[in-house]
Structures are given as structure tokens and as C-alpha cells.
Amino acid sequence: MCSVVGYVGNEYSRKFVLEGLSRLEYRGYDSAGFACIDPDNNRLMYAKSEGKLQRLVSLLEKEPIDGFAGIGHTRWSTHGASSEQNAHPHFDCEKLISVVHNGIIENHTELRHQLEKTGHTFHSETDTEIIAHLFESSLSVRKELPEAIVHLVQQLQGAYAFISLLNAHPDTMVLVRKRSPLCIGLGDGQMFVASDMLAFAGKTRNVIFMPDESFALVCKDSVELYRFDGTPIAVSVQEVDVTWDMYEKQGHDHYMLKEIYEQKTAIHDTVDFLHSVKDRIWDDMGMSAKQICALDSINLVGCGTSWHAGYIGKFFFETIAMLPTQLHLASEFRYLPFFPVKNNMFLAISQSGETADTLEAIRMVNEFQIPTVALTNVSSSTMVRESEGFVLTQAGREIAVASTKAFSTQVTALYWMAHRIACEKKIINTSQLESAQHDLLVAAEVLENTIENYKLSIIKDLAPRYARYKKMIFLGRHNSYPFALESALKLKEIAYILATAYPAGELKHGPLALIDADTPTIIFSHQDPLIYQKLVGNVQEVKARGGHVIAFAFEGQKELCDLADTVFEIPRVKSMLGPLAMTGLMQFFFYAIAKELDRPIDKPRNLAKSVTVE
Ligand code: F6R
């Protein structure tokens, strides 16, 4: 999604703004822009360009504008194409007010018509430009900034975080936040502002996370915070401990590769953390042990990779904790009837804790008497704040757009949670919970070792060979089916190869028509003997039609290995953890294919990390 960054202080702002934007560029990279106040005449100056941030950097080298207050933006297009014209910042009619914005103004069409009728002229197709014009019109009727902002936000609908610089207030940044994150880093004679504190990590440890529906007036030595109705809010500063070097690529070609290799540690950290909170976990989840014991069912919700992790988790909750589990795609859930049932809990799964659809699903369920719990990787996220409770994964920051370690730590946490609930319900005892933790660590070991085992043959032989194909079919059964879904998503998003995933039993109900020598079938095996035999049958169906098979098999699955054209053999782990054990190898294989195809792996086209708009 879009990122906003701002600076006001004793130093020139451009360097910080561009550095902050480059740290957040993984969230959106369709266009970029910068605006600042000219120190000589207090007038706004700006530069913007289509495409990646580097183009803006080059432009600014030729036209080196700078000032002590500056704002910047990287865009992930929602309203209007990726063009220079639609790049932020946007302005009012007189170019006296500049705005950079993350989010969506839902009533922008109606507002645009109203503003056009009163003589405002627009220069872009964006919803953001409406904010600048509306701010102009609010300031014409309310002279003081706080009053004008109250008037402005009363007219805006949607989710937004924006920063505005105004000619008339050259020393002040205006920050407004509703349902999209915005934070302020407090420095010495300087203030850093961003939609994500990663932008200023290492520059200050003192951070204000703006509350929802609030606005702030930020000068180099002061922050005034207000509610949307204009009443002041006491400023609460939190101390955070993050440095930027924690997020460098550390010698890897891509963040994705670094993050693939971080998985073993991330799983260990997640298990250790969950183990350390095992006695207070129900408090964290905002529930009581009694409520847990009374649970009759669970609802899971998420988007994309997090939904896939939830799908695998459904097998854990049903088999280990004996809880019927319903799984929902957040983007669908919001528009379907919801039938609340008693003794249920609603677990929202999200790496970022900011995904708009999942967040809205939580808000919807919060209206009923059902506990909402966020399973997320970001403790300061909106989902943690807005759910009744939370469970945290310990993946560390994930920068590559394609999720890797977030997925494996979600699967880890879901497996652990299913056991912890089963333990509370006395379905298993504490030593079985301890064994489950051990099984997760074993799977993490296998996840990493299998990459090492196949690394050379993938790089030298398999990736070049399979990068030539234009489409692939993915098959799985039981919990290897959601894993097939996740694998197909990885291949699509980073290699741009068309990939479709099916439960293997569905083959003969249609997809078998796709089988030919140009469409490899990738099959993910299972350790359960019955499921395995069924999968072997499906591979025979594919081979009988001249298909080409790549098998992710477990050690000893000879029949499958003999049938397949390419085999990855994976050491056996606890049966339910098969997908976790296969995760590293699957990700590495597709990473290597994408690299072979020279794709921009960390920032695939059209995508962005953390989808904070619907
Ligand atoms: C794919 C990917 C996305 C996210 C999805 C949800 O690799 O990363 O599908 O999983 O956008 O994001 P979170 O988990 O932040 O809610």
C-alpha cells in the first residue's frame, strides 16, 4: 500500500524523507513524490515521478529542492493509473496546501462533484486530491487549523492517514488518521513522521502511535494531539527498540531469500515465546480458561497467505482440539450473512495486523458477543488494539512482499494453539503439549535442511528447466491441499507463472482436461497411508495422460517417487506438520525460478505489502 513519510526540524528534510520512503517502498512502488517548504520564501515546492522511488531520487538530484519541513509518498495505485499526474503530493487550487495520503476516501466522487460546483479545479484522478481542496474550503470558513481540520474530517468517509504541509503554517505538519496507521518519532529538535515506524527506526526510540480518529499538529519541538471532535488528547510516548540494520538484506540477493532462511529461527522464537506465555495465554487472548473449555467451535478469518495458514490450522483445531472450525476469506465474509453462535471464538490471522478486509471482519464480529482474537506478527498493530485479545508470532519484520516466514510462524502458532486448547480441555496432557513443541522444532529443522539438500540441483538444473513453463497445476489432499494453494500463490506472485491449485480428488471432475506435456503438475504428498495411496492414484491419472509430475514426497514413498519425473524427498515429521516441513523447499524452488526469470522478486509488479485498502 502507499506509504507516507514526513520530517520537520533543524535539518533539511529531503535526505530523511527519501531514506524513509526507500525503507517503506516494499509497500507500494507505482510512483513517488516529495514536497517541502522553501526556507527562503516559505512557499511549497515539490517533485514527483511515475515508477519506482529511484526515479524520484534521480529527478531530485537534477532539481535539488529541500527545506526544513518535508513530506513524501510512495504510491500503490487505487484511484487512477500510475502516472506522474496521479503521484502524490496533491494540492489545492492555489498550491498552498499539499497532501500525501495512504488509504481511501470512500465518498470522493460525491465530494469531487460538490467541490467542482464551487469552482475547484482538479488535476488528477485520485481521491487524495479531494482532501487538499476540501482542506482549502474548510480553511476559508474556519481560520484556525484545529477547527478547519475538525470541519474537514467531518466530511471525509473511509480509512485514511495523511500528512499535509501548508504555506500558511511553514513550521507545522498536519497529521490526520482514521483506520490507517500513522506514528510520530520524537527527536531532539526534530520530528519524524511515517505510516510505519520502520521509516525512522534507529533515529529515535520515542514514538507516539496516533490513536484512531485523531489528528496532530507537529512542529520541531512540539506535538499537539486532538480527537476528531477537536478535544485535546494527552500525548502518550512509547519507547521502542528497533534499529534499521536489523532489516538489511545481510548479504542475500533478496529479502525473500533472507526471510526463507530466517524461518527456522522464527519458528524457534515463536515456539519459545508461546511456551513462555502458556500460563497467561487466555489473558492475552482476552478470554478465561472457562470460556476456552466451553468452546464448541472456532471461526478463522484472513486473506491470502494468512488464509492459507488458517486453512491448514483448521485441520489442527478439528483433529487435535476436536473443535469444528469454519474458515472465512475476510473479503467475502464481510458481505455474507453472519450467524453468531454461542461458545465460539473468532481468530483473525494477519501478518501485518493492518489488512483492511480482516480488520473490518473483526469490527463486524466485535458487534456480537463473540471473543475476537488477532493472531499477528505485529504487536503494535491495529488488529491487536481492536480485537479483544491477541496471540503473537515471532517472525520478525517481513519485508519481501511475498510472505514466507510469516506463513510458517502462523502455521506454528496455530498448531501450538490447537494443542494448548486441547490441553485446557483435557483432551491431551501437558507432556503431549511439550511433545508438540518438540515436533515443531523438528519440522523447522527439516524445513531448513531440505533447502540445503536440494539447493545446488535447484539452482543449476531444476530452476532453469522449470522456468520455461508458462503454467502449472498444483495438487494436494487433506492439509497438503491448502499448502498447494499457498504454493501456487507463491509461484504466481513472484514468477508470474499461471498456477492453479486443486484438491487432487477433484482432478477427474474437470482439471484433468488441462493435463499435457507443457503443464507440469506439482503434487504435495501426505504421510497418512490412506491419503498417500489416494495421491498415488491421482499421479497415475496424470501420468496416464502424458503429464509431467514434480513430487514433494516423504522419505520411503517409493511408488510416488517412481512415478514422478522430478522428486524432492523430505524427511518424515509429525504427520500434521508435513506442510511446514515442505515450506522452505517449496519457497526456495519458486524463488529460484523467479530469479531465473529475472523477476523483481521482493517487489512483484502490481502488488504491495500490507493491503490497507479494501
Ligand atoms: C502473499 C501475501 C499476501 C498476504 C495477505 C494478507 O505472499 O503476503 O497474500 O498474506 O495480503 O496479509 P496479512 O497477513 O498482513 O493480513
Q: Cβ distance 86 to 124 under 8 Å?
A: yes
pLDDT reported for residue 314? 98
Is residue 424 predicted with pLDDT exceeding 80? yes
pLDDT reported for residue 242? 72
Q: How confident is the model at residue 198 (pLDDT cuts 50, 70, 90)?
A: confident
With a 6 Å cutoff on the Cβ, whether 263 touches ligand 1 is no
Q: Which domain holds residue 556?
A: 450-599
Who has greater pLDDT, 76 or 413? 413
Amino acid letter for position 59: L
Closest-lying ligand 1 atom to the alpha carbon of residue 303: 6
Domain final residue, candidates 428, 463, 489: 428
Q: Cβ distance 17 to 37 under 8 Å?
A: no
**Residue 609 is among the residues annotated as catalytic for this protein:** yes
> For residue 175, which phi and psi values (nearest 5 degrees)?
-120, 135
Residues 200 and 268 in one domain: no
The domain that holds 583 is classified in CATH as 3.40.50.10490
Q: Cβ distance 323 to 291 under 8 Å?
A: no
In a domain, 613, yes or no: no
pLDDT reported for residue 613? 66
Is residue 44 predicted with pLDDT exceeding 70? yes
Segment 13-41 shows an average pLDDT of 91
**How far away, in angstroms, is 222 Cα from ligand 1 center?**
36
Q: How confident is the model at residue 215 (pLDDT cuts 50, 70, 90)?
A: very high
Gyration radius of the chain's alpha carbons: 26
Q: Which three cell numbers stand for residue 127?
A: 481521491
Between 100-109, 286-295, 303-312, the lowest mean confidence (pLDDT) is in: 100-109
Residues 143 and 190 in one domain: yes
Segment 228-236 shows an average pLDDT of 96
**How far away, in angstroms, is 229 Cα from ligand 1 center?**
34
Residues 190 and 296 in one domain: no
Angstrom distances, CA of residue 326 to CA of 208, 373, 410: 37, 15, 17
**How far away, in angstroms, is 326 Cα from ligand 1 center?**
19
Residues 257 and 158 in one domain: no
Q: Which three cell numbers stand for residue 303?
A: 486473506
Residues 533 and 463 in one domain: yes
pLDDT reported for residue 359? 94
pLDDT reported for residue 358? 97
Residues 399 and 469 in one domain: no
Model confidence pLDDT, tens digit, residues 427-469: 999 999 999 999 999 999 999 999 999 999 999 999 999 999 9
Q: How confident is the model at residue 249 (pLDDT cuts 50, 70, 90)?
A: confident
Annotate 532-555 with b (16+ C-beta within 10 A) or e (fewer).
Answer: beebbebbeebbeeebbbbbbbbe
Mutate to test the pocket of ligand 1, among 180, 611, 612 (most ligand atoms within 8 A of CB): 611
pLDDT reported for residue 614? 67
Q: What is the mean pLDDT of the chain?
A: 95
Segment 269-281 shows an average pLDDT of 97
Q: Cβ distance 70 to 46 under 8 Å?
A: no
Model confidence pLDDT, tens digit, residues 95-154: 999 999 998 898 999 999 999 999 999 999 999 999 999 999 999 999 899 999 999 999
Segment 539-552 shows an average pLDDT of 97
**How far away, in angstroms, is 376 Cα from ligand 1 center?**
11
Segment 590-605 shows an average pLDDT of 96
Is residue 271 predicted with pLDDT exceeding 70? yes
Is residue 28 predicted with pLDDT exceeding 80? no
User: What's the total number of domains in the chain?
Assistant: 3
With a 6 Å cutoff on the Cβ, whether 402 touches ligand 1 is yes
Q: How confident is the model at residue 505 (pLDDT cuts 50, 70, 90)?
A: very high
Q: How confident is the model at residue 392 (pLDDT cuts 50, 70, 90)?
A: very high
The domain that holds 57 is classified in CATH as 3.60.20.10
Residues 346 and 481 in one domain: no
Q: For the chain, give the percent of residues with pLDDT over 90.
A: 88
Model confidence pLDDT, tens digit, residues 339-357: 999 999 999 999 999 999 9
Model confidence pLDDT, tens digit, residues 143-196: 899 999 999 999 999 889 999 999 999 999 999 999 888 999 999 999 999 998
Q: How confident is the model at residue 321 (pLDDT cuts 50, 70, 90)?
A: very high
**Residue 264 is among the residues annotated as catalytic for this protein:** no
Q: How confident is the model at residue 85 (pLDDT cuts 50, 70, 90)?
A: confident
Residues 308 and 207 in one domain: no
Closest-lying ligand 1 atom to the alpha carbon of residue 305: 10
Segment 315-322 shows an average pLDDT of 98
Residues 239 and 261 in one domain: no
Distance of CA 504 to the CA centre of its chain: 29
- CA atoms of 347 and 356, how far apart (whole Å): 15
pLDDT reported for residue 118? 94
Residue nearest to atom 7 of ligand 1 (CA): 402
Q: How confident is the model at residue 539 (pLDDT cuts 50, 70, 90)?
A: very high
Residues 235 and 253 in one domain: no
